[in-house]
Amino acid sequence: MRIGVVSEYFDRTGSTPTVLHDLVTHLRARHPELTFDVIASRNQYRGDTLLPNHESMDGVEVTRLATPKSNRASTVKRLGAGFVFTAAAFTQLMKHPRHDVLLVVTNPPSLAMAANAVRRLRGTPYVYLIHDLYPDVANVLGLLPKRSAPSLVLQRFQRQWLRGAARIVVLGRCMRDYIRDNYGVSALKVDVIPNWADAEEIVSMAKSRFRDANGLTGVTVLYSGNFGMHQDFDVILDAAKILETKNSELVFVLAGKGAQQEHIETRIAREAIRNVRLFPLAEQRDYSDLLAAADIGLVTLARGTEGIGVPSKFYNILASGRPTVAIVAPNSEVALVLAESDSGRQVNTGDSAALASTLEALACDRVERERLGRNAREVLVHKYTLDQVGERFYESFVAAAGAERTT
């Protein structure tokens, strides 16, 4: 089976590009009957190095297109660059011999347009992998009014792309339900396939160089990753202030970068929040050690984003053998996994008092933290590694190809 993979970024610099790289190379090694062709841009997701026009990566052929980078501050420029890549990817797909199945992602948001056009012209089925759903993300974050003309047009396109897909892959049950309820797509064509963590790369360590080097004592609460608009950092800072007044020994470590970094820095300085420490985004080689610095891991989502995205950092916390405190709605995928595996605590979005109380209780109970951490590592190893997740993608590809042959 020949599978075409279309994504603006395909490298090992983090986030979706690394997820795709690891998934494709894993499946290529596990299933030799699969042949992958990747179409991406020459840009790195993180970094300014231009990648070669063509390369072979672990047996996977990658064709790279000279298009502008889309992860820009301006929404208009970002969308414009995304359309340029979409058009270039469509042209490249039409030059290429027909694939049995396409895998297309949501970066850039318009990319499914190319896959749907190839389906109509060539009959090629596509698997639609949704990490972030547009325009819904922009609606929730207040960047685009839901009932505005542009939003309604984008919703109409999104509905066409979802219905045109042979299979839809989402990261959580909350996303499956959201698509069913808001776009009228049958849940029968939606595969819930979570993200994963590398249980060999991220291990449960008792000691941490990061912790020692930065003089972290007491109980450390860690948020690591993107300081993006999808996350609610005010609830974390408010909880930190509550705990500071109680002379708690809890210290909050926020390690990352992103759109909300300036807001976080401003609040810490203006309000003199002394039990929060900021650090840069960790390099991949140091990531496991950073996670080991934590006694408790934090996951947070902005209100209303449940069903639109699932934070992948959650699975890394599970792998590190630390309990997670998730500031999310009860129906979110993270909350469901925590309840099923008894590996952490869920706190309702925006409830800083409950967050402070939950963290304080865990800080005072080392035995409970260790029990939750053991459960976290166990569920990761048994359910959320690439071995398990990769097979579910394989089944989606087979189902997509089979669905096209029966139509």
The helix (run of H) or strand (run of E) holding residue 116 is helix 111-122
For 103-131, b where at least 16 C-beta lie within 10 A, e where not — what string? bbbbbbbbbbbbbbebbeeeebbbbbbbb
Query: So what's the pLDDT on residue 30?
Result: 94
Q: What is the pTM of this model?
A: 0.93
What is the spatial order of strands in the sheet that 251-257 belongs to?
276-279, 251-257, 220-226, 296-300, 324-327, 344-347
Residue 406 pLDDT = 46
Q: Which helix (H) or strand (E) holds 182?
A: helix 173-183
Over residues 348-378, the pLDDT tens digits come to 999 999 999 999 999 999 999 999 999 999 9
Tokens of 29: 């090694």
Cis-peptide into 17, omega within 30 deg: no
- pLDDT tens digits along 306-318: 888 898 899 999 9
Structure tokens at 48: 């300014």
Calpha distance 349→87 (Å, rounded): 39
**Cα(339)–Cα(341) distance, rounded to whole angstroms?**
6
Per-position pLDDT tens, the chain of length 407:
999 999 999 998 878 888 899 999 999 999 999 999 999 999 998 888 999 999 998 889 999 999 999 876 677 788 899 999 999 999 999 999 999 999 999 988 999 999 999 999 999 999 999 998 889 988 888 888 888 998 899 999 999 999 999 999 999 999 999 999 999 999 999 999 999 999 999 998 888 999 999 999 889 999 999 998 889 999 999 999 999 988 778 999 999 998 899 999 999 999 999 999 999 988 888 999 999 999 999 999 988 888 888 988 999 999 999 999 999 999 999 999 999 999 999 999 999 999 999 999 999 999 999 999 999 999 999 999 999 999 999 999 999 998 755 44
Q: What is the topology classification, in CATH, of domain 2-196+385-405? A: Rossmann fold (3.40.50)
The CATH 3.40.50.2000 domain(s) of the chain lie at 2-196+385-405, 209-383
Kindly report, residue by residue over 203-241, the tens digit of the pLDDT.
Answer: 988 889 999 999 998 899 999 999 988 899 999 999 999
Q: What are phi and psi of 172, to 5 degrees?
A: -160, 165
Distance of CA 162 to CAs 117, 152, 185, Å?
13, 15, 7
The answer to whether residues 105 and 16 touch, using CB atoms and an 8 Å cutoff, is: yes
Distance CA 74, CA 29 (A): 40
CA dist., res. 66 & res. 317, Å (int) = 36
**pLDDT number for residue 402:** 87
Q: Which pair of tokens denotes residue 395?
A: 């089944």
Whole-number pLDDT of residue 404: 57
- Going by CATH, does the domain composed of 209-383 fall within 3.40.50.2000? yes
Residue 344: exposed, middle, or buried by beta-carbon count in 10 A (0-12, 13-18, 19+)?
buried
